[in-house]
Amino acid sequence: MKPQLACAARATAAVLGPALTVRYAILALGVFGLAACSGGSDSESTTPPPPTTMDPQPILTTGPISNFGSIVVNGVRYETGSASFMMDGQAGSQSDLRVGHVVSVKGNINSDGTSGTADSVVFDDMVKGPVQSIDSAAQTLVVLSQTVMVDAGTSFDDRFSPASLEGVSVNQIVEVSGQFDADGNIVATRIEPKPGSTEFEVHGTVAGLDNAAMTFNLNVLVVDFSSAMLDDFAGGQISEGDFVEAKGNSIGANGELLASKVELESRLPGAGNGDFVEIEGFVTRFESSEDFDVNGQPVTTTSTTRFEGGDAADLGLNIKVEVDGFLNDAGVIVAEKVDIRRARAVRVTAQVDSADPGSDSLVMLGITVNVDMMTRMEDKTDADVSPFNISDIAAGNYLEVRGTEFPAGGGEILAGRLEREDPGEDTILQGFVESFSELSISILGVTIETGGNTVFKDAGGNVISSADFFAQLDNNSLIKAKGTEVSNTTLVAREVEFETEF
């Protein structure tokens, strides 16, 4: 950010109070002007000027949907009453969307930074086609030769039984929404089953272009575009490095996609110089903390960029972030804020002890679980409540929560994903060991009791002895315990297993 803008931001924050973030403090530049600032040269010629009022400002934001009641993306609730909806290139409606779908929202954001109005909402899957293989141990599947990674942030449609990777089968047609990592893998945010007549679709960066053979590669998938309609390409020609979507209805004899259409895609559809943008995704290229890509989109930081959830030293390939900033005339986001996203290694699946909508919290296994605008919430029971909020949760409901202990050492969970499910027989707690003694382990204040009937497993899922398990156990080991809740803070374990953090 230019020195004058940083000064104006500080002046604005001083008047409006610390609750106003730097990102929106600069929007008041036109109110307070530059009179309070002096000096400083400007060498950042490609940085666009900021908005000049505190009125709602134009924005383009991309990320997974965390809730409805309008639509919540990247912690902002956008009213959608007048918005248009596009689903995979076809006109749609909000009812076609689900939590976990990665969307692009174009509209306006209010000065509170938590609300806005959407003009358009666009959803496009990352890959849609038949499942070629599944690796349960690695938590991956292959769809149209694209490796799809499943992690704690993946939502599964409840038409799968069970609603997990275990419910997916080889040759089944699935649709995957997600984000690329630095290796070109798709980290899934949502996976849904689709009917057999579904048209295949795949996104990626063109490599190995062979204009004579009329083929190119998307990762290891060969795309034959000899019969394809080409859309939006300059001069009607595909180029190496283009980011594209290829569609087709069939696979050739050698496993190639026989494309019926190939379309040039934008990573920030509809955005231009000076637009305020928010993007969430993985760092896919990293030269330095001042020069990196998120989802293939170039980002630069400055001395005034604000870091949350970590600092510049924590950036690197495959780190998940949200970046907020202005797009300059070189197509680079000049970051006002970089938010290093929370991990989701902590898991609790249990009945609710109590819920307090007033404080956006609930208690499970004696552990306080907090939710916020970033929490992805979904009702997978027959009630299928949508939007699903903490006010819909009652004592005795069976929930699965994924998140992180926050603040560190505080014994509470900040939920990244919360799902209400049909009652299950097991209570599950996954987290980092705080302390342990002979046959007893403590996690988040919960005592996990083991005994002669407990099955112990290593990180590969192999059964080991109790002695071997406790010999390997350390404080801060990540383990998962399944069993029976015998009191608000005690779990008698049927199975205990070492886990690897995503």
Q: Which residues of 398-417 are buried (b: 16+ CB within 10 A; e: fewer)?
A: bbbbbbbbbeeeeebbbbbb
Distance CA 455, CA 369 (A): 28
What pLDDT does residue 390 have?
96
Average pLDDT over residues 219-236: 95
Q: What is the pLDDT of residue 502?
A: 57
Predicted confidence band at 42 (pLDDT cuts at 50, 70, 90)? Answer: very low
Instruction: Indicate where the chain has its CATH 2.40.50.320 domain(s).
Output: 127-198, 276-340, 346-424
Using a cut of 0.85, tell me whether the model's pTM lies above it.
no
Confidence of residue 13 (pLDDT cuts 50, 70, 90): very low
Question: Is pLDDT of 50 > 50?
Answer: no
Q: What is the pLDDT of residue 73?
A: 97
Q: Which two tokens stand for residue 325?
A: 């900033």
Owner of token pair 């903390």? 289
Give me the phi and psi of 209, to 5 degrees please. -65, 130
- Three-state secondary structure call for residue 261: strand
Cα separation, 460 vs 500, in Å, equals 9
Q: Say what the pLDDT of residue 344 is.
A: 82
Q: Buried (b) or exposed (e) across 475-489, using 16+ Cβ within 10 A?
A: eebbbbbbbebeeee
Task: Name the residue with tokens 């509809």.
Answer: 270
Return the ∠ at Cα 129 (arms to 126 and 135), rounded to 5°. 85
Using pLDDT thresholds of 50, 70 and 90, give the confidence band for residue 7. Answer: very low
Other Cβ atoms closer than 10 A to 393: 23
Which residue did the predictor score with more confidence, 65 or 10?
Answer: 65
Per-residue confidence at 309, pLDDT binned at 50, 70, 90? confident
Per-residue pLDDT tens for 425-469?
A: 899 999 999 999 989 999 999 999 999 999 999 998 999 999 999
Class of 57-123 per CATH?
A: mainly beta
Per-residue DSSP letter, 153 = T
pLDDT at 472: 95
Reported CATH class of domain 276-340: mainly beta
- 46: which residues sit within 8 A by CB, 6+ positions away? 328, 329, 330, 332, 334
Average pLDDT (294-316) is 94
Is residue 458 within 8 Å of 448, Cβ to Cβ? no
At residue 278, φ and ψ (nearest 5 deg) are: -130, 130
Q: What is the pLDDT of residue 185?
A: 97
pLDDT, averaged across the chain: 89
Kindly state the average pLDDT of the residues 464-480: 96
CATH number of 429-498: 2.40.50
Pick the range with the lowest mean pLDDT from 23-27, 270-274, 313-317.
23-27
pLDDT band at 124; cut points 50, 70, 90? very high
- Could you tell me if 330 and 46 are in contact, meaning their C-beta atoms sit under 8 angstroms apart? yes
Question: Taking CA 189 as the corner, what is the angle to CA 183 and CA 192, rounded to the nearest 5 degrees?
Answer: 115
- Is pLDDT of 32 > 70? no
Instruction: State mean pLDDT over 187-210.
Output: 96
Convert the pLDDT of each residue in 57-114 to its tens digit: 999 999 999 999 999 999 999 999 999 999 998 999 999 999 999 999 999 999 999 9
| Structural contact between residues 205 and 239, judged by C-beta atoms closer than 8 angstroms | no
Distance CA 192, CA 159 (A): 8
For residue 28, name the pLDDT band (cuts at 50, 70, 90): very low
Q: Hey, what CATH topology would domain 127-198 get?
A: OB fold (Dihydrolipoamide Acetyltransferase, E2P) (2.40.50)
State which amino acid sits at residue 271: A
Dump pLDDT digits (tens) for 351-390: 999 999 999 999 999 999 999 999 999 999 999 999 999 9
CB contact at 8 A, 291 and 335: no
Give me the pLDDT at residue 238, please: 97
Q: Which fold has domain 201-264?
A: OB fold (Dihydrolipoamide Acetyltransferase, E2P) (2.40.50)
Q: Which fold has domain 346-424?
A: OB fold (Dihydrolipoamide Acetyltransferase, E2P) (2.40.50)
Reported as a pLDDT band with limits 50, 70 and 90, residue 272 is confident
Q: What is residue 46's predicted lDDT score, i.e. its pLDDT? A: 40
pLDDT above 60: residue 21: no
